[in-house]
Structures are given as C-alpha cells and as structure tokens.
Amino acid sequence: MKIHCPLCAYRPHAGDRWICSPGCDTVWNTFDTRARCPGCSKQWRVTACPACDVTSPHNDWYHDEVPDEADCEHEENRELVGV
C-alpha cells in the first residue's frame, strides 16, 4: 500500500502535520490515524495536500500496487480492436 497525493503524487512524511479545523485545533499527522483526529475523534473524510494545497478524499491517498493487471487489460483491448 502506497500513500501519496492523488493529484501531485506528493508522499506525506512523518513530520507533516494537519490541523483539525473546523474542529478542536489538534495538530497531528493524519496518516498515523487514517484521518481520525486524536483530540476529538472526528473522522475526517478529506485531506489537504501540503504540496499542492488541494483537498482530496482521504481514501484517494491510498494506492494499491497492481501494475500488472493494468497491462493485461490494455493488451486485451488492443486485440479486440485488431480483429
């Protein structure tokens, strides 16, 4: 499982911090808790990127590694078009 911004591919570091706002103003690393505020237990659905400043759904930051599968689909499509 890789974690990076869905838009700019920025990978959050251990030292990055987010603030619960609007909320209880707790500052923490949101990827330590899967976007759950340790101060007020609010479950955040979105996470702002420290690099590009765009707010994306928190789940979009998690990326499974399945490079082979995408290649196979591409091959199949090409074959169908050729016939």
Contact residues for Zn ion (CB under 5 A)?
5, 7-8, 10, 20, 23-24, 26, 37, 39-40, 42, 49, 51-52
Rounded CA-CA distance 18/27 in Å is 6
Return the number of the residue (3 or 24) whose C-beta is nearest Zn ion. Answer: 24
Return the number of the residue (7 or 58) whose C-beta is nearest Zn ion. Answer: 7
Per 3-state DSSP, the chain is made up of helix, strand and coil in percentages (nearest 5) of 30, 20, 55
Least Å from the CB of residue 64 to Zn ion: 19
Least Å from the CB of residue 48 to Zn ion: 9
∠ Cα 20 9 76 (to 5°): 130
Least Å from the CB of residue 83 to Zn ion: 41
Rounded CA-CA distance 44/24 in Å is 12
